[in-house]
Structure 1
Amino acid sequence: MGFAEAPVLENAHVRLEQLTRAHEPDLAAAAGAGDLWEKAWYTSVPRPDAVAAEIDRRLGLQAEGRMAPWAIFDLASGRAVGMTTYMNIDEANRRVEIGSTWMGYAAQGTRVNPAAKLLLLARAFDDLNCIAVEFRTHAANAQSRAAIAKLGATQDGILRKHQIWGDGFRDTVVFSILDTEWPEARAGLEARLEG
């Protein structure tokens, strides 16, 4: 499967596991806590009763070689707290996008996100020899934009009216980290996790 494989990745804070239906109870609880699925309109958090369908959708894309889906397992809580993926896989050009990521409120603002991103970026650059890793987010998602920039990513631009979104449109902000920028980005993430 190459880039679409989702091996276990682990550090002191998180374990990324191949997404399976076994993660459904934890993920449904994370999506339902505080009505995250409803309040986070700028991203794609499934309704608690739709988590199984979202897992199946992601696994279907993985079977087609188009996505590598992981469950984000917070080692401190001992629970799966969200999902993340490699998507828009372009193996020929050695590029992936880290996206379709969401985490329950309890994991937000903790070390979970930077720890997970460190694992995903290390796999992309060190194991898969990627030359670029992209991140995309809704232009209105200030929290996500700030978190992506804090990873050491550079904003490449905004795709205006990129997607039909509800009754309107989504402008998509595109960021990337290049292979030449990875050492500095890695050092920044490691320093954040040590602090």
Structure 2
Amino acid sequence: MSTNKKISPELILETDRVILRPISENDFNDLLELAQEQEMWKYFALNLADREHFQKWMDAAFADSFAGTRIPFSIIVKKTGEIAGSMSLMNISYHDLRTEIGSSWLGKDFRGTDINRHAKYAMMRYAFEELNFERVEFKTDVLNERAKQGLRKVGGKEEGVLRSHMTMWHGRRRDSIYFSVIKNEWPSLKQTIFKDIEGYACH
């Protein structure tokens, strides 16, 4: 089974707290400035504190968007208009009715807030309710305890580890752990973990 509905490359998602809009070239400097905390990239495939790595990441995001397999978002704080970080709908498969929420990162001042939860809520709601997808998946470094805990907090179910899955920018071979939320789990999550979130819209 597949869906006839396709994601617009101009898709905008929002809640009462955040706006997710496609990354533009104009976001380059703001995002690069947010990325300057070196410790952020310990578990990331690229070191986005490095301008060359950051450009490579942006180029890949635009190429994947053009290919129709990814929508890379800038996360905007609604109240202030600040860019908080980035997150993507990626590895989109209309045939398999699934997508990944990934390439997720926030600047230091925005971590530990509810911005991550709002962004993931908007993306999951879009995937399950607008696209009628069956599965949303997430992956992270098996060593990244903070990220794993964060995925559990948004309802992700741990699935398993892909051993020696990726080469990191500093040369380590990363084992990746997968989490997922499937469609029949979404209504319960929406009424529990995400019950306080309002103002959802997609356009």
Match of 1:49 in 2: 51
Match of 1:87 in 2: 90
- Report the RMSD for the aligned CA atoms in angstroms: 2.0
Contact persistence 2:86–2:105 (CA under 8 A): yes
Gaps of 5+ in 2: 199-203
Given residue 189 of structure 1, which amino acid in structure 2 is its aligned partner? I
* TM-score after normalising by structure 1: 0.89
Q: Cα distance 1:4–1:55, how it changes in 2: closer, same or farther (>3 A)?
A: farther
1:107-131, Cα deviation, whole Å (9 max, x unpaired): 1110100000010001100111110
Work out whether 1:114 is the aligned partner of 2:120. Answer: no
Once the 2 structures are TM-superposed, how far is the Cα of residue 63 of structure 1 from its aligned partner?
0.6
Once the 2 structures are TM-superposed, how far is the Cα of residue 187 of structure 1 from its aligned partner?
2.0
Question: In structure 1, how many angstroms separate the alpha carbons of the residues matched to 2:111 and 2:77?
Answer: 11
Question: In structure 1, how many angstroms separate the alpha carbons of the residues matched to 2:25 and 2:8?
Answer: 18
Once the 2 structures are TM-superposed, how far is the Cα of residue 40 of structure 1 from its aligned partner?
2.7
Q: Cα distance 1:39–1:16, how it changes in 2: closer, same or farther (>3 A)?
A: closer
Given residue 137 of structure 1, which amino acid in structure 2 is its aligned partner? T
Sequence identity, in percent?
28
Q: Which has the higher contact order (CA 8 A, sep 6+)?
A: 2
2:127 equivalent among 120, 124, 134 = 124
Given residue 42 of structure 1, which amino acid in structure 2 is its aligned partner? Y
Question: In structure 2, how many angstroms separate the alpha carbons of the residues matched to 1:163 and 1:13?
Answer: 34
2:187 equivalent among 174, 183, 186 = 183
Gaps of 5+ in 1: none
Q: Cα distance 1:169–1:111, how it changes in 2: closer, same or farther (>3 A)?
A: same
Question: In structure 2, how many angstroms separate the alpha carbons of the residues matched to 1:134 and 1:183?
Answer: 17
- Secondary structure, aligned partner of 1:66: coil
Work out whether 1:73 is the aligned partner of 2:58. Answer: no
- Secondary structure, aligned partner of 1:85: strand
* Bigger proportion of residues as helix: 1
Contact persistence 1:163–1:169 (CA under 8 A): yes
Contact persistence 2:15–2:197 (CA under 8 A): no
Question: In structure 1, how many angstroms separate the alpha carbons of the residues matched to 2:120 and 2:40?
Answer: 24
Q: Cα distance 1:29–1:7, how it changes in 2: closer, same or farther (>3 A)?
A: same
